Copies of this chain bind each other. A is one copy, B any other.
Amino acid sequence: MENVSKTANVKRERVMNEFSDWYNEMIELAEIQDKRYPVKGMNVWLPYGLRIMRNIENLIHEEMVRTGHNEVLFPALIPESEFEKEAEHIAGFHGEVLWVTHAGEKPLEVKLILRPTSETAMYPMFNLWIRSHADLPFKIYQIVNVYRYETKHTRPLIRVREISRFFESHTAHDSFEDAERQIREDLEIFDNLAKNLALPYIVSKRPDWDKFPGAFYSLGAEVIMPDGRTLQIGTMHNYKQNFAKAYEITYETEEGTHEYVHQTTFGMSERLLAAVMGIHGDDSGLVLPPTIAPIQIVIVPIPMKDSPYDVNAYAKEIAKDLRTAGIRVYVDDREDIRPGRKFYDWEIKGVPLRIEVGPRDVEGNKAVFARRDTFEKFSVDRDKIVEEARKTLDAIMENLYARAREFLETHIKRVDTIEDAKKVFEDRRGVVELPWCGEESCGVEMEEILDASMLGIPYPEETAKIEGKKCANCGRDAKYVARFARTY
């Protein structure tokens, strides 16, 4: 009975069917960013959006401290000469870098690029910093702005020319095995973060033709957005010694010999917020996980003329109790704005829990709770408010996660043939898994036929191996399951 009412009240029709419009509207209405800045693909972070993003970043900082990464901050400009040291890397980014060529009226002696990512800025310094095996593993990170001059259609937080909240950790190790251990730690960090955002996801090992420029292999973590397209929200790369050789990053072993370090990176960005918006949102607006909501509870006093009860004072008392309990609470006591309008505003902004107090609540020593995720309303005794608030916020987290996991699971379909794969893309969208022989030529052909990208094979690799199936393209024995999706 309870479950029925939950599902019944939550509408996601616009979110599913007109996702692009819904998303653009929410960016604006929930005051996440202003898109009217006069450079395409560069947007202004508004206070509310920035507060959510800062909360996400605080979760990242905590994980970094826990795992012994140190925070650094590198310049945003990289000399052309440093940028061009690793051949694959420069080839991968060359078409989309922004060039600083002049200072005042004068041309620069060495042209500078605005970092598209920081390998080529950091690794000349790694060369100076890393000397001995005692310096390893070496683990740093930064959250900065990076630039990629996208030629595709831009979209706030998702595809932009200035990623203004770009997280990147860079590590160096004494062996391939220790670099692999780092990748596992990255996956654990990512998993902790994703749980805190109530975001179920999948991890795929990218095909060689789509790995990060300069990487030995790349992993991508994806969510499925409401329109069925996947959004990459995390990447981990094992570089082996590729950059170490280009930047001469060596260390002295215990035996006194010199070896190149092994390196990894791990990246995330403001796309995490885009994923939260798309995956939890509904036709009434955002639905924020309590973990990152700038306001976890909004209290709306509903005064009534000629009532002897002071609902504003009562609301403030409740707010005080909740604040003391460590909950982020806001009392919306704006005058001249009707409660219905306030409900509407805070629903758009995704505040997880609303508490309404009217004269009857003051009289009865109660308050009405309204959950943003299910629209359920129920009455709570005054002396149970803090306890019930905590419980309800926890229940919201659980419900968001369960709902999102169900969506993810029902949007991944394993089939055997290209025809069936095509039908899935017509029908229900999402991720399609197909048997694959492992050859690039087959993979690329399937991408073309399906008008989709190969995300790669499920990770860890063991889970991707299959037997007794035929490659959906060439008909030879299949080695792996490969994932395909329309991507952002």
Contacts and interface: CB of A to CB of B under 8 A. Distances in A.
A42 interface: yes
Interface string A42-79: 11111100110000000000000000001111111111
B75 A46 contact: no
A164 to B, nearest CB: 6
A102 interface: yes
A77 B163 CA distance: 12
A95 interface: yes
Interface residues of A, number: 49
Q: Which of A74, A96, A103, A140 has the most CB of B within 10 A?
A: A103
A114 interface: yes
Contact of A42 (B75, B103, B140): B75
Interface stretch (A32-40, A355-363, A382-390): A32-40
B98 A102 contact: yes
Given A39-B112, A42-B75, A47 B105 contact: no
A98 B94 contact: no
Given A36-B128, A79-B39, A70 B47 contact: yes
A98 B107 CA distance: 10
Contact of A103 (B36, B44, B149): B149
A303 interface: no
A46 B128 CA distance: 13
Contacts of A79: 38-39
Kindly name the residue among A95, A98, A129, A164 whose own CB sees the greatest number of chain B CB atoms within 10 A: A98
A38 B80 CA distance: 11
A466 interface: no
B164 A75 contact: yes
A246 interface: no
B72 A47 contact: yes
B76 A50 contact: no
B104 A97 contact: yes
A464 interface: no
A72 B98 contact: no
A73 to B, nearest CB: 4
A125 interface: yes
Contacts of A94: 104
A103 B100 CA distance: 9
Contacts of A77: 39, 42, 98, 162
A145 interface: yes
B76 A47 contact: no
A42 B72 CA distance: 14
A194 to B, nearest CB: 24
Given A44-B125, A94-B104, A149-B104, A162 B75 contact: yes
Contact of A96 (B43, B100, B103): B103
Interface string A96-124: 11111111110000001010000001001
Contacts of A447: none
Contacts of A82: 38
Interface in A260-292: none
A124 B71 CA distance: 34
Contact of A45 (B44, B45, B72, B164): B72
19 contacts: A34-B128, A37-B75, A38-B124, A39-B79, A42-B75, A44-B75, A45-B73, A50-B72, A50-B73, A51-B71, A73-B164, A75-B162, A95-B104, A97-B103, A99-B100, A99-B102, A100-B101, A101-B102, A145-B145
Interface of A: 34, 36-39, 42-47, 50-51, 70-79, 81-82, 94-105, 112, 114, 121, 124-125, 128-129, 140, 145, 149, 162, 164
The 9 A-B pairs of least Cβ separation, nearest first, read A45-B73, A47-B70, A42-B75, A103-B149, A99-B102, A95-B104, A101-B101, A98-B100, A75-B162
